[in-house]
Amino acid sequence: MTVTKKDKYTADSIQILEGTEAVRKRPGMYIGDVGVRGLHHLVFELVDNSIDEVMAGYCDYIYVELRKDGGVVVLDNGRGIPVDIHPQAKKPALEIVLTTLHAGGKFSNSIYKISGGLHGVGLSVVNALSKRLEVEVMRDGKVYYQAYEKGKPITPLTEKGSTDKTGTKILFYPDPDIFETTKFDYEIIANRLRELAFLNPGVTIELKDENTGKSNVFKYEGGLIQFMEYLSKGKEVLHDPFYFKREEENLVIEVVLQYNTGYDELILSYVNNIHTIEGGTHVTGFRSALTKVVNSFARSWGLWKEAESLSGEDVREGLTAIISTKVPNPQFEGQTKTKLGNSEVKKFVEKVVEEELTEYFTKNPDIGKLIIGKIIEAYRARQAARKARELVRRKSLLESTLLPGKLADCSEKDPSKCELFIVEGESAGGSAKQARDRRYQAILPLRGKILNVEKAQHLTKILSSEEIKTIIASLGTGIGQDFDLSKLRYHKIIIMTDADVDGAHIRTLLLTFFYRHFRPLIEGGYVYIAQPPLYFLRKGKEERYAYSEEEKEEILKEWGYPDNVYIQRYKGLGEMDPDQLRETTMDPQKRILLQVTIEDALEAERLFSILMGNNVEERRNFIEQKAKFVRNLDI
Ligand code: 0RA
């Protein structure tokens, strides 16, 4: 698709200009941010539109391509965006959809069309934030084409051939004037497409990266049941997944659940294919029905006789569940607009889950008893942990003002200015102490490998590890039910490990520990990973550091591959002298920190299970890769 700019086509509607300008002026209002997340939102917006066609029953194939020239293609075999002239606007419907804010919904006949939040903002937003966008529609035996720049048409809608196919193809180039980065991350896109393929069984979603040759085809006839199998990989499960789907008065609910021998709760919830990270009424309805049915069967089977009921927390220990609902006019609330607010959904989900689960337990008493037995164990363990915690709390009242001896604290007391470096090994710890700015940088050296938290999750055991106790005391927040974020002593907690396999392992253990027991620290963006350089290069008087193999190659190329070059590969932090460590890794003016975020709680959870679970092969594969949930932050 190429077109020359000679026949420049100017839009004459003020409304169109306003729409485009508003989006370009305040992109954050429409796509959340202009960083990595916002950039990927553009692709997801296009794919969501194609998924609407899938849900309406007219489309079963979506193709996404990351092109070498930085463009992204999203193609589907749906009906094609209508091209007929809109009587009032006197313009093709296609052009209105691509240039008018919130025009998308009016042209869609999907009752589950998303509105509100960051979803369903429409093609016009993607268009406005693209330096160039080309659309091809196949409809009524013809191929139509139009090109845009920064949201404005630069060609009229033209017929450019005939076809027996139908569908929509959009190629866009994100505008570098808007986005901090225009480089797409294959894994981020693959994760969302995989999720969409699980949620819409039968659709084929293909992803190809022309830059790396990577590709995936996602197609899951088994839908949510296959999604569950994917999540349960590496976990020891108690039974086959329990699945049901119901539809009443335009509300659709689909649930799959499975218990495993672990201690974690993972409930993934969706509304009209949107991942509701903050849950909402569908999740509340599910939880309350589950707790009710479990308690009722526990008593009627004579397994539970105490006055106190089994709590929701106990009931969900070791539970993985996926709840997918379809809701007309969903209301999204909460900080990230991913919490469902519709109250009718709670009643509906609660009723249906209660009925279905009752039938399941009645027909499968052996499984029911196995599950309830595990829940009762969870109850007992929680009681024991409570007692242990009270003991620790009483003890720590005496110790609470005493910081661990290994901690080299900083002098500044304002947590927002303070940084804690958790450093692998005593020798690196020593260098870090010399390299730091002692006013606001504290150093905590760790010896050996810390506890593998996945395998010993109950608080009682975790609290008995010396290394863990040291970390908890340094953070100042307390743990478990005592956790208090406002007591956090450092607003940057920086994990600094060697750039080798052992370092990767320790980093993973620490991240797992934070993920499991200090999740608010990750969610709040307090946890970072330091990036020490991999190489030191010198040519004559010029000295450079390289943080990756590619960067080393780039520097050598820049220098024209000279003979008189000195290259040192750093195997550990200990090989750098304090000045080098400060300059490359610790000085806020020069260092690179990666902020640890849970962009995708789903993927993070699964990765942690793979990492720490029983599957040695997958764990090794992962450790050799870079942590995917880590995103670039301040340079
Ligand atoms: C409005 C109406 C119709 C289809 C679409 C929109 C549509 C939009 C997109 C966006 C990406 N792919 C799409 N495919 C279809 C249906 C019009 C009709 O009745 O044929």
**Do the beta carbons of residue 83 and residue 93 sit within 8 Å?**
yes
Q: Are strands 61-66 and 204-209 parallel, antiparallel or unpaired?
A: parallel
pLDDT digits (tens, 9 = 90+) for 29-55: 888 889 988 999 999 999 999 999 998
Say if residue 121's pLDDT is above 90.
no
Summarised one tens digit per residue, pLDDT across range 67-119 is: 999 999 999 999 999 999 988 889 999 999 999 886 544 455 566 665 444 55
- Measured distance CA(41)–CA(545) in Å, rounded: 34
87-100 residue pLDDT tens? 888 999 999 999 98
Round to whole Å and give the CA distance between 66 and 88.
37
Q: Is the CB of 81 under 6 A from ligand 1?
A: yes
CA 92 / ligand 1 centre spacing (Å): 13
Query: Does 599 score more than 60 pLDDT?
Result: no
Q: Number of C-alpha atoms within 13 angstroms, CB side, residue 585? A: 35
Which among 60, 206, 502, 551 is annotated as catalytic? 502
CA–CA gap between residue 157 and residue 180 (Å, rounded): 31
**Among candidate residues 592, 495, 598, 581, the one with its CA nearest the CA of residue 547:** 592
Whose structure tokens read 């420049």? 8
498 an active-site residue? yes
Q: Counting atoms of ligand 1 from 1, which one is nearest the CA of 168?
A: 12
The answer to whether residue 500 is catalytic is: yes
Residue reference for tokens 């094609």: 80
Alpha helix stretches (DSSP H) within 56-103: 93-99
The b-or-e profile of 489-513 (16+ CB within 10 A means b, else e) is bbbbbbbbbbbeeebbbbbbbbbbb
The reply to whether 563 belongs to the active site is no
Q: Is 121:46 a contact under the CB 8 Å cutoff?
A: no
Which residue's alpha carbon is at the smallest distance from atom 17 of ligand 1?
Answer: 82
Residues 6+ apart with CB under 8 A from 134: 1, 3, 145, 146, 147, 148, 170, 171, 172
Provide CB contacts within 8 A for 510, sequence distance 6+. Answer: 422, 450, 495
Average pLDDT over residues 143-163: 97
Tell me which residue has tokens 């077109």: 3
Amino acid at 264: D
The pLDDT assigned to 468 comes to 81
- Answer yes or no: is the C-beta of 53 below 6 A from any ligand 1 atom: yes
- Length of the chain measured in residues: 635
Q: What is the pTM of this model?
A: 0.71
- pLDDT score recorded for residue 257: 98
Q: What is the mean pLDDT of residues 528-547?
A: 90
Element (H, E) at 353: helix 343-363
Confidence of residue 618 (pLDDT cuts 50, 70, 90): low
Per cent of the chain over pLDDT 90 is 59
Parallel, antiparallel, or unpaired for β 158-162 and 441-446? unpaired
Cβ–ligand 1 contact at 78 (below 6 Å): yes
Indicate the top mutation candidate among 60, 79, 84 to test ligand 1's pocket, ranked by most ligand atoms within 8 A of CB: 79
350 lines ligand 1 (CB under 6 A): no
Contact predicate 222/211, CB 8 Å:
no
| Digit-coded pLDDT (tens) for 563-586 | 899 999 887 888 888 999 999 999
* pLDDT for residue 387 is more than 90: no
**Per residue in 416-447, pLDDT tens?**
999 999 998 778 889 999 999 999 999 999 87
